[in-house]
Amino acid sequence: MSIFHRIALLLAALFVTASVHATAHANEVTTIKLSKAIHADGMAFNAQGELLTTSAWRGTTVDKINVESGAVSDFAKGLQGPIAIAINDKQEIFSTNWRGASIAQITADGKVKHFAYVGPKGDGLAFDNKGTLWFTAGKPGLLMTVSPEGRVRPVAQGGILKYPFGLAFTETGDLFISGGTTGEIYKLRKAGDLELFAQLPGEGKWLAGHLAYTEGRLFAAGGESNKIFEISMKGDVRVLAGSGAKGHEDGTGTEASFTFPLGLQLSPDAKYLYVVSGNGATDRLRKIKL
C-alpha cells in the first residue's frame, strides 16, 4: 500500500469520525441553571449576545440572561404584562404590553417608552424582512402590523385564526402563526393567502407557545404537551425533544422532559434552540442542540 493510499484512508477515517462526533449529540437537551428564578415568556438576543426575556402577562420587567453563566440581571422595568419581545436590524427593542393594550419601545439602556396603542391585548411580536412590526392579539383573533410611526393596521381577524399567538417569518417573507389554545399552525403567504398549515398534537387549554424558524426548519413550543416540535415546510410535525411527562430531565430528544415549554429562541448562529417554561417562575434555561 502506497503512502498516498494510507494518507487517503487516514483522512477518510478522520472525516467519518468528525461527522459522527458532529451529529452524535443532535437534539441533546441540557440545562443552564439561572442565578435566580424568573417569570419568562418571550425571548430575543441583543447585539451583545445577551438573552432578553419578558416576564409574561402578570409581570412588569424584562430580564437579561448571560447564557454562558446563567447570571440574571435586570434590564427594563415599568412594563404592563410583557409577552413577546422583538429586536430589529437597528437593534431597536420592542415588547408587547398585554395589560396595557400597547407596544412599548425599550432603549439599549433599558428605558421604557410608549410606542403604539394597539387596542386589544397584544401577544406575539416579530419583524418581517422589510422592518415592519407584526403582532397578534389572541382573544379577538387579530393579526396586525404597526408602522415605524406607530400606526396600526389590521391584516386578518377571525376565520381560521384561533387565538393567534407566536410569530416567525421565513427568509422569503412567509409568516407562521401559532394558535395558542388549539395547537394549530397557520401560514400567511407573502401573497396574502392565509391557510391552516399544521396541527400540533396534545390535549389541554394551551397547546402552542412561541415559534422559531431557520433555514426551512420551524420549531414550536408545545405548552401543555410538554414537548418541543419541529414542523417541516410540508406541514409534517415531529417531536424534537420532550417525553411528554412533566419534568426537567436532560437527555437526547424524547429522553428529556419539559414542564409547560412556552418561550423559544434560536441562538445567533442557529446551532441551538433555547427554551423557557411558562405558567410559573423558573430557574432553568433549557438548551437544545440542533
Question: What range defines the domain where residue 259 resides?
Answer: 27-289
Residue 197 covered by a domain: yes
Residue 272 covered by a domain: yes
What is the per-residue pLDDT for 18? 40
Task: State pTM to two decimals.
Answer: 0.91
State the DSSP H helix or E strand holding residue 20, giving kind and residue range, or none if neither.
helix 3-23
Residue 6 covered by a domain: no
pLDDT along the chain (290 residues), means of 10: 49 40 72 98 98 97 98 98 97 96 96 94 94 95 95 95 98 97 97 94 97 98 99 98 98 98 98 97 98
What is the per-residue pLDDT for 10? 44
Residue 14 covered by a domain: no
DSSP 255: G
- β-sheet with 43-45: strand ranges across: 43-45, 51-54, 61-65, 72-77
Helix (H, G, I), strand (E, B) or coil at 253: helix
Q: What are phi and psi of 3, to 5 degrees?
A: -60, -35
Distance CA 157, CA 32 (A): 39
What is the per-residue pLDDT for 19? 39
What is the per-residue pLDDT for 289? 98
Residue 100 covered by a domain: yes
What is the per-residue pLDDT for 191? 77
Cell 430589529 locates to 88
For residue 261, the Cα-to-chain-centroid distance in whole angstroms is 10
